Structure 1
Amino acid sequence: MVLPEEHFLISVEHQLRAWFGDQPVLARKELLERVAALNPALKKATLDVYLHRLTLRNQLVHAGRGVYALPDAPRAAEFAPSVPPELVELWQAVAAELFLDAGCVWPTQWLNDFTSHQVMRTVQLVEVEPAALDSTYYALKDRLGGRVFLAPDARVLELYVAETPDAVLVLPLVSRAPLQLVSGTPVPRLEKILVDLLSEPVLLASYQGEELRTIYRTAARRYRLDARTLHAYARRRGKAPALRELLLAEGLSSLLPQ
């Protein structure tokens, strides 16, 4: 004799693939809401029991703090891009010369891996603490000449940066920005890049609109993202509401904070 609880659990199992769709992970909160919708009379504690049973039956697997995946879903990779050798050498030289304690470098060319259209004119970004902006700018200018621009505004971006091949932009680093080391060089974590795209619509104008949404969807599908890191940095940049709105609009609720 099959118990009613078993019948309900089987019905939940049959819904799982439809709930996930093309998302690699779902947040615990969203899964609980989906289960509750099948039986609104269930109490929260009972809903948690069902999730636990689904993991025991290998219908769900933990994919991180507060998120689940299907057991046969491809595992998301860590974001560890290749840093151009020129940028590695540039950072090492300037960091040693100026005794820089914090900073990062990255080329906007990385974003072409996430977009539907390729942006041909890309730039290299060097981010340092505000107190080191001027000294970093002059150190780079001594090496690279007119390719270097210090925190350019919209006019400089349009008139000069856009016409300069391999432009290097020196920008202020936001405190406690999420960074990582790749080949011994500090670069932004993907969470930082995603929030910066929201925060710098003029500087990163080529990646706005539909391209921005495509970048977010592609990043969530391919790479492991930490929701807490993403939202903590968005709060520091004053973009938490905009980030939440974008994630909900794109069906990326698994990246909402738990």
Structure 2
Amino acid sequence: MVKTIENTIENYFKSNTQLSRDELGNLISRDFPELSEGTITVYLSKLKKAGVINNPARGIYSITDKQIFNPEINQNLKKIYNKIHKEFPFIEICVWNTKWLSDLMRHQPFKNFTIIEVDKEAEEQVFNAVSEWTKNVYFNPNDEILERYISSNTEEVTIIKNLVTESPTVKNNKIVIPTLEKLLVDIMIDKELFAAQQGELDFIYKSAFDKYDVNKAKMKRYAIRRNKEQDLERMISRIITK
């Protein structure tokens, strides 16, 4: 068979279900160096019209018709991220809110948390800095703190915790946030912190896999980092059989 873009396009998505325009273009150029950038653009347009590939977000290509997880980053999260990044420009940080899980749940939690994840060696410094301009900030709260002070707190709560090395994150509008794969693994492991999600864990996973383009390989790599690979495999096997 003559090698063409049409019969090799799926190979490019074996490792990643989503690729940026530059990533996909580079892969095509590697296999078809004779094609100009303009010709590649024409080919991609034709493949999109033929339904071979999808363009679920600007500059992103996929071979699935499922949605890309693209949560709303509100002004509070932007402010928090930008303040921390300005004061600590060389540390890894990601921010999110547990409200992002709401559309995957049957019942809505009583309250949501703002989560700030940072390098382990910078946790206390970030905690002290954030506490100066935000109230109800907690640093790696244990079960007792969660039960006594956080669960019953009706005000906005911010939690600072360790960002596991090599965590799957993505930059969205200049703000670094966790990927859906990371969120799914974290809520499975951190049962006390995400107690509100435990009763619906199977439903959350099934909803996520049905609605969004979830990269199981990425989940597995992260679960291995957290020493919970077997737990994740059991969870995925369980929801697939439902």
TM-score of the superposed pair, with normalisation by structure 1: 0.68
Is contact 2:168-2:218 (8 Å) kept?
yes
Is contact 1:77-1:224 (8 Å) kept?
yes
Is contact 2:91-2:122 (8 Å) kept?
no
Change (3 A) 1:166 1:226: same
2: CA distance between counterparts of 1:236 and 1:80?
24
Greater relative CO (CA pairs within 8 A, separation 6+): 1
Aligned to 1:161: 150
Kindly report structure 1 stretches of 4+ aligned residues shifted beyond 4 Å.
61-64, 71-74
Is contact 1:81-1:182 (8 Å) kept?
no
Change (3 A) 1:173 1:233: same
Change (3 A) 1:97 1:229: same
Aligned to 2:171: 181
Aligned to 2:24: none
Change (3 A) 1:222 1:252: farther
Structure 2: gaps (5+ residues): 1-6, 18-50, 53-62
Structure 1: gaps (5+ residues): 1-55, 254-258
Query: Which of 69, 89, 92 pairs up with 1:99?
Result: 89
Aligned to 2:201: 212
Give the residue type in structure 2 aligned to 1:233: Y
CA offsets per residue over residues 116-162 of structure 1, 9 Å max, x none?
111131110000000110010011100013x1000000000011112
Question: How many angstroms does 1:252 deviate by?
Answer: 6.7
Aligned to 2:186: 196
Change (3 A) 1:235 1:79: same
Aligned to 2:80: 90
* Match status 1:65 vs 2:54: no
2: CA distance between counterparts of 1:125 and 1:150?
10
Question: How many angstroms does 1:62 deviate by?
Answer: 8.3
Question: How many angstroms does 1:78 deviate by?
Answer: 1.3
CA offsets per residue over residues 217-258 of structure 1, 9 Å max, x none?
1111111111211100001111110111111111179xxxxx
CA offsets per residue over residues 40-67 of structure 1, 9 Å max, x none?
xxxxxxxxxxxxxxxx9xxxx8894289
Is contact 2:140-2:161 (8 Å) kept?
yes
Is contact 1:178-1:188 (8 Å) kept?
yes
Question: How many angstroms does 1:113 deviate by?
Answer: 0.9
* Match status 1:148 vs 2:137: yes
Q: Which has the larger radius of gyration?
A: 1
Change (3 A) 1:76 1:140: same
Give the residue type in structure 2 aligned to 1:198: M
- Count of aligned pairs: 191
2: CA distance between counterparts of 1:100 and 1:200?
27
1: CA distance between counterparts of 2:225 and 2:71?
25
* Match status 1:114 vs 2:104: yes
SS in 1 for 2:240: coil
Is contact 1:114-1:215 (8 Å) kept?
yes
Give the residue type in structure 1 aligned to 2:150: V
Aligned to 1:242: 231
Change (3 A) 1:113 1:67: same
Is contact 1:180-1:186 (8 Å) kept?
yes
2: CA distance between counterparts of 1:226 and 1:251?
15
2: CA distance between counterparts of 1:217 and 1:115?
10
* Match status 1:232 vs 2:225: no
Aligned to 1:50: none
* Match status 1:79 vs 2:28: no
2: CA distance between counterparts of 1:81 and 1:249?
26
Question: How many angstroms does 1:95 deviate by?
Answer: 1.4
Q: Percent identity?
A: 25
2: CA distance between counterparts of 1:67 and 1:252?
24
Is contact 2:150-2:157 (8 Å) kept?
yes
